[in-house]
Structure 1
Amino acid sequence: MLLVRKRGTAAFMQPGGKREPDEGDVAALMREIDEELGCRVVPESVRPMGQFEAPAANEPGYKVRAAVYAVEIDGAVVPAAEIDEIRWLDPREPTDLHLAPLTRDHVMPLALGEAR
């Protein structure tokens, strides 16, 4: 699983971001992956995994609502835009990374087949 750490934050999370006006979830994900990581989503690989809500990692008192997708990517992954660091993580292995609540509480269990 690919995780990113945005500039000025400690938590690792999935790449992605907010939709532009009149932009759907998948179009936003494809744009964000290109902007943040310089690679492309393989369109036929997109699989919806669910919609989840969790406390925001970087904004105390706020929540994030996210549509989560599993995708394959094409091309080299290079941190760009607001991304300071990338990490590939095997969800079956213990980690000491500081994970965003959405990642820790929803995405990791999804990756392990233990959806909550």
Structure 2
Amino acid sequence: MKKSLLVSAVCIYDPEGRLLTVRKSGTTKFMHPGGKPEPGETAAQAGSRELAEEVGILVDAADLELMGVWTGTAANESNTDIVATVYTAPGRWDSKAIRPTAEIAELRWMDISRAAEHDDLAPLLTEYVLPHLLAS
């Protein structure tokens, strides 16, 4: 039986409309900044905290806009499904000012219309978020 893991993720865009993706240390898949909520945290609070910890972006949890909640295959944990609450951060962010911190090994700004060219994206992105964004 698969385990289930709650996570929060946040879509961040630069002025050109590219989506920020991150690759965590010791992994091969690119995904949104985000992670597991701490005890007592709401999904939005977890998303806000993870943005600050992983890429140094400060956004109040109340300012995050809910995009959707999806259940899918975890990118880096075998035999695990994730229940992901995905938000969009307001505004556009200077890509030069964002730096990987914590467990982030690499940042990549991706043109969502060219996402199919990447074979290293997390299932949450390819199966749920990108189709949602491309249909909007």
TM-score computed with the length of structure 1 as normaliser: 0.88
Q: Give aligned-pair identity as a percent.
A: 41
Contact 1:11 1:99 (C-alpha < 8 Å) held by counterparts: yes
The equivalent residue for 2:78 is 60
Question: Which position in structure 2 is the counterpart of 1:79?
Answer: 100
- Corresponding residue for residue 120 of structure 2: 98
Specify every segment of 5 or more residues in structure 2 that has no aligned partner in the other structure, as ranges: 1-18
Aligned: 1:5 with 2:23:
yes
Using the size of structure 2 for normalisation, the TM-score is 0.76
Distance apart, 1:44 and its partner CA: 6.3
Change (3 A) 1:45 1:110: farther
Letter in 2 for 1:41: V
Q: CA deviation at 1:96?
A: 2.2
Q: Are the equivalent residues in 1 in contact too, given 2:65–2:90 (CA < 8 A)?
A: no
Any gaps of 5 or more consecutive residues in structure 1?
none
> How much is the aligned-residue C-alpha RMSD, in angstroms?
1.9
**Count of matched residue pairs:** 114
Once the two structures are TM-superposed, the CA of residue 47 in structure 1 deviates from its matched residue by 1.3
CA displacement 1:70-105 (0-9 Å, x = unmatched): 113667210000000011111112422401111110
Q: Contact 1:38 / 1:78 at 8 angstroms: preserved in 2?
A: yes
**Bigger proportion of residues as helix:** 2
Query: What's the offset of the Cα at 1:61?
Result: 1.2
Deviation, 1:45, is 4.6
Shift of 1:43: 5.6
